[in-house]
A and B are shown apart, each in its own frame.
Chain A
Amino acid sequence: QQQVKQSPQSLIVQKGGISIINCAYENTAFDYFPWYQQFPGKGPALLIAIRPDVSEKKEGRFTISFNKSAKQFSLHIMDSQPGDSATYFCAASPLTYSGAGSYQLTFGKGTKLSVIP
């Protein structure tokens, strides 16, 4: 059973446009929601993360929107640039100890973003 569903699988955006990637989760024990960015040939790297006590977090051109009641969160990339072209993974984990499985990150399947000039 996939616990974090990510969409779309791929996304093509014009330079300067807004890229939006959505994720939905099922496990109500999740209380930490990071996004990882992966460039070809590299390992994933943390981009931005949010806890459920806030509905939005912004870092530069990257914003996470979080809807706790709907169990959904999304990544918005404003003014998308060709250098943003990468694969993006949403993830979720319980940061509070809750037995087996605690602290493990569950990843979505990834979104390949291509920003064209």
Chain B
Amino acid sequence: QVQLQESGPGLVKPSQTLSLTCTVSGGSISSGGYYWSWIRQHPGKGLEWIGYIYYSGSTYYNPSLKSRVTISVDTSKNQFSLKLSSVTAADTAVYYCARVDSSGYMPRYFDYWGQGTLVTVSS
């Protein structure tokens, strides 16, 4: 059974960089066939996709966040990470990591999710 677990600071100051890590267990990121993604949810709101990465390092980002987002992968630790720069209060949200099933190289659906971690941007 694949499990994902987010970790990182729960409080980030405005203008700083939000950094989160997702640790994957029960499966190898390097095995291929899946993408690894970050999604966030503002308090009381819907889901917003941030981006995803393949184990090779290829990335796709939400165009609305692309200028501030970096997603990276560390296959030796079976982890992938999110960095979001120049944060403001509008970046306060629950951040989820998730696995994306794929068909060939086409992403499909999010089949496993982490429990989510609340990140608050405040001074």
A and B part of one assembly: no
